[in-house]
Amino acid sequence: MIKGTESVTVEVNAGVKSESGLATAFSDFKTSLRGELILPQDKDYDLARKVWNGMIDKRPAAIVRCAGVSDVIRSIKFAMENNLTIAVRGGGHNVAGNAVCDGGLVIDFSRMKSVRVDLASGTARAEPGTTWGEFDRETQQFGLATTGGLVSSTGIAGFALGGGIGWLVRKYGSTCDNLVSADVVKANGELVRASESENQDLFWGLRGGGGNFGVVTSFEFKVHRVGPMVLGGLVVHPLAKAREVLSFFREFARDSSDDLTMLGVLFTAPPAPFLPEKIHNTQVVAIAGCYCGPIEEGEEVLKPLREFGTPEVDLFQPMPYRVLQSFLDAVAPPGLQNYWKSGYLAELSDEAIETILEYNSKIPSPLSAVHIHQLGGQFSRVLDESSAFSHRDASFALNIVSTWPDPKHNEKNIAWTREFFASIQRFTNGVYVNFLGQEGEERVKAAYGEEKFQRLQQLKKKYDPTNFFHHNQNIKPAE
Ligand SMILES: Cc1cc2nc3c(=O)[nH]c(=O)nc-3n(C[C@H](O)[C@H](O)[C@H](O)COP(=O)(O)OP(=O)(O)OC[C@H]3O[C@@H](n4cnc5c(N)ncnc54)[C@H](O)[C@@H]3O)c2cc1C
C-alpha cells in the first residue's frame, strides 16, 4: 500500500516487490524522469486524477506527467518491472474514464502539447496532450485544419485513435483518415513509427482501434485549407415541431453537399443571451451545422434549412472556424455526471424519430441531450477495410448524452438512458467506440463487426500479447 491522504491499493501481482521496495522503486523512478511524478500524498494528486466525466473517481498509485518520449518509455518499463497496470491519458475526455485507473500508473500527456505545422507537406505534427482548441489555434494560423472535435477541450489523442467525427467529417473524412503517421511506444518499450510504409498493420489498427496497441507519442495529420471563415451556427425550433424538423433534417441530409456537416440535437435551451427569452429552459430541437466551402455558396445551400418552418432563432452566420470549434464548449463543462449510450443509424426512420420523441419527453435532466451526427460524404467513401474504423455506411451516429450534476440522481438518469437505448437499439447498427462507456466486450465488438474484431485480436497478439494496455475499450489478444 502506498500512503496518501486516503489509502490507494496498488494493483500489482503478489510477490513482486514489498511495500518498502516499491516505495524505493517509485523514488528512483521519480529522479529518472524529466517530467513530474505525482503520488497520492502530493497536493496535485486529486486534481490530476480527475477526468472530464465527474462520475469517474479512480485512485492511481502514481501519475506521470511526461515531458517527452523518454518519460513514456521509462514509465512503461517501470510499470512492467513492477507489475503495475497502466492507463494512458490524452485529453481525459473519454466518458468511460479509461484515462485513469485504480492502483496503477497513469501516463499523463497534459504537458506534451507541441504542434508543428509543415506547410510544404500540408501536415501538422502534434503531441498527444494537445486539445482540439490548441491544435486548431496552431493550424488556423495558416488557414489549415483537419477534422476535429465539436468541443475544444477534447484531446486529439483518444479522439483520433477511436476515429474522430467533427464538422469537417463529410468533407475530409474522420480524423483517423487524416492520420499520416504516428510514433508509438510498444508494450516492450520499443519506439516505432507506423504509417502507410512502416508497420502498416499497426497503422491500420491505430486508425480506429483506440489505445490497444501502444502509446502514441506523436501524431502526424494531413491538414486542409479551411476558413478561416465558415458558415456555422444552428436553427432552433420548439419541441412541438420536432417531428417535422427531424424529418426535414433526414431529407435535407440525404443529398447534402460534402461541404456541409450537420448535427440534429434535442436539448433544453439554457438561459443564454443569444437565445430568445421565451425559449429559455424549454425543450427545443435544433439543427446545427458547418458549411466549410465559400460563404456565398453556403448561404444558398443553407437556404432551405434556414427557411424551413418558423425557427425561434437562426444563429447561422459567417464565423471563424475556431469560433465554431468552441461553440458548444459551454454545454459540455467538466465534472458533471455523464452516462452515454450510442449507436449508428442506417436511416433516421419515422419509427426511430417516434422513439426519440417518446423518451425525450421523459428526459429526467435538463442538461441531457440527444445528438444525431450526420455522416456520409467523404466519411463513407473511405474503404471500410482500409482501417480499423468501421461502419462507413452509417448515415448518422446517435448519441444519448445523459448529464446531470448530482450523484444522488444517478439511478434515475442511468435508468432513463438504458431504457431509451433498449428501445432505440433495434434501429441501430454498431456503435462508435469513442462514445462507448464501460459496456463490455460485445459492445466493443459491435464497434468493429465480427471479422474486423478478429483481425484486431490478431494484431493485439502481435503488438501487446499480454494485454498490458487494457485500460481502454479492450480488444483481448487472440488465443
Ligand atoms: C465534451 C465531449 C465532446 C466530444 N465530442 C466529440 C466529437 O465531436 N466527435 C467525436 O468523434 N468524439 C467526441 N467525443 C468523444 C471523444 O472522441 C472521446 O472521448 C475521446 O476518447 C477523447 O479523447 P481524449 O484524448 O480526450 O480522451 P482520454 O480519456 O484521454 O483517452 C481515451 C482513451 O484513449 C486512449 N489514449 C489516449 N491517449 C493515448 C495515447 N497517446 N496513446 C495511446 N492511447 C491513448 C486510452 O485508451 C484512453 O483511455 C467527445 C467527448 C466529450 C467528453
CATH of the domain at 351: 3.40.462.20
Question: What separation in Å is there between the alpha carbon of 418 and the centre of ligand 1?
Answer: 22
pLDDT digits (tens, 9 = 90+) for 287-308: 999 999 999 999 999 999 999 9
Domain assignment present for 478? no
CB 424 within 8 A of CB 355: yes
Question: What separation in Å is there between the alpha carbon of 163 and the centre of ligand 1?
Answer: 10
Report pLDDT for 14: 41
For the chain, the domain total comes to: 3
Confidence grade of residue 471 (pLDDT, cut at 50, 70, 90): very high
For residues 93, 467, 14, 27, the Cα torsion angle rounded to the nearest 10 degrees is -50
Q: Is residue 310 domain-shared with residue 327, that is, in the same domain?
A: yes
CB 460 within 8 A of CB 472: no
pLDDT digits (tens, 9 = 90+) for 345-399: 999 999 999 999 999 999 999 999 999 999 999 999 999 999 999 999 999 999 9
Q: Is residue 61 domain-shared with residue 184, that is, in the same domain?
A: no
Residue 385's alpha-carbon distances to 72, 170, 177, 345, in angstroms, are: 31, 19, 12, 20
- The protein residue with its alpha carbon nearest to ligand 1, atom 6, reads 149
- The protein residue with its alpha carbon nearest to ligand 1, atom 3, reads 151
Q: Is residue 304 domain-shared with residue 419, that is, in the same domain?
A: yes
- The whole-chain average pLDDT of the chain stands at 95
pLDDT digits (tens, 9 = 90+) for 119-136: 999 999 999 999 999 999
CATH of the domain at 216: 3.30.465.10
Domain assignment present for 444? no
Whether the CB of 215 sits within 6 Å of ligand 1:
yes
Report pLDDT for 20: 76
Domain assignment present for 462? no
Report pLDDT for 13: 42
Q: Is residue 398 domain-shared with residue 313, that is, in the same domain?
A: yes
Whether the CB of 469 sits within 6 Å of ligand 1:
no
Domain assignment present for 401? yes
Pick the last residue of a domain from 416, 435, 454. 435
Whether the CB of 88 sits within 6 Å of ligand 1:
yes
Q: Is residue 55 domain-shared with residue 125, that is, in the same domain?
A: no
Domain assignment present for 465? no
Whether the CB of 377 sits within 6 Å of ligand 1:
no
Report pLDDT for 2: 37
Q: What is the largest CA-CA distance in the chain?
A: 71
The whole-model pTM stands at 0.96
Question: What separation in Å is there between the alpha carbon of 474 and the centre of ligand 1?
Answer: 14
Question: What separation in Å is there between the alpha carbon of 157 and the centre of ligand 1?
Answer: 6
Residue partners of 408: CB distance under 8 A and separation at least 6: none
Q: Is residue 233 domain-shared with residue 378, that is, in the same domain?
A: yes
Q: Is residue 359 domain-shared with residue 275, that is, in the same domain?
A: yes
Residue 455's alpha-carbon distances to 130, 201, 202, 393, in angstroms, are: 30, 10, 11, 20
CA–CA–CA angle 98, 100, 104 (5° rounding) = 115
Pick the last residue of a domain from 189, 205, 225. 225
Given the CA of residue 98, which atom of ligand 1 is nearest to it? 49
Whether the CB of 164 sits within 6 Å of ligand 1:
yes
For residues 223, 294, 261, 309, the Cα torsion angle rounded to the nearest 10 degrees is 170
CATH of the domain at 47: 3.30.43.10
Domain assignment present for 466? no
Whether the CB of 373 sits within 6 Å of ligand 1:
no
Q: Report which DSSP code applies to 128.
A: T
Question: What separation in Å is there between the alpha carbon of 244 and the centre of ligand 1?
Answer: 34
Q: Is residue 277 domain-shared with residue 218, that is, in the same domain?
A: no
pLDDT digits (tens, 9 = 90+) for 196-245: 999 999 999 999 999 999 999 999 999 999 999 999 999 999 999 999 99
Whether the CB of 165 sits within 6 Å of ligand 1:
yes
Domain assignment present for 449? no
Domain assignment present for 136? yes
Mutate to test the pocket of ligand 1, among 66, 89, 186, 215 (most ligand atoms within 8 A of CB): 89
- The protein residue with its alpha carbon nearest to ligand 1, atom 38, reads 90
Whether the CB of 147 sits within 6 Å of ligand 1:
no
**Is the predicted pLDDT of residue 15 greater than 60, yes or no?**
no
Average confidence (pLDDT) over 76-103: 97
Question: What separation in Å is there between the alpha carbon of 159 and the centre of ligand 1?
Answer: 4
Residue partners of 360: CB distance under 8 A and separation at least 6: 239, 242, 266, 283, 370
Q: Is residue 218 domain-shared with residue 271, that is, in the same domain?
A: no
Question: What separation in Å is there between the alpha carbon of 296 and the centre of ligand 1?
Answer: 34
Pick the last residue of a domain from 176, 202, 225. 225
Q: Is residue 39 domain-shared with residue 54, that is, in the same domain?
A: yes
Q: Is residue 289 domain-shared with residue 429, that is, in the same domain?
A: yes
pLDDT digits (tens, 9 = 90+) for 137-169: 999 999 999 999 999 999 999 999 999 999 999
Residue 144 belongs to domain spanning: 115-225
pLDDT digits (tens, 9 = 90+) for 253-277: 998 999 999 999 999 999 988 999 9
The angle, 0 to 180 degrees and rounded to 10, between the axes of the packed helices 410-424 and 350-360 is: 170
Report pLDDT for 23: 84
Q: What is the percent of the chain where pLDDT is above 70?
A: 96
Mutate to test the pocket of ligand 1, among 73, 86, 93, 206 (most ligand atoms within 8 A of CB): 93
pLDDT digits (tens, 9 = 90+) for 59-84: 999 999 999 999 999 999 999 999 99
Q: Is residue 346 domain-shared with residue 367, that is, in the same domain?
A: yes
Given the CA of residue 150, which atom of ligand 1 is nearest to it? 8
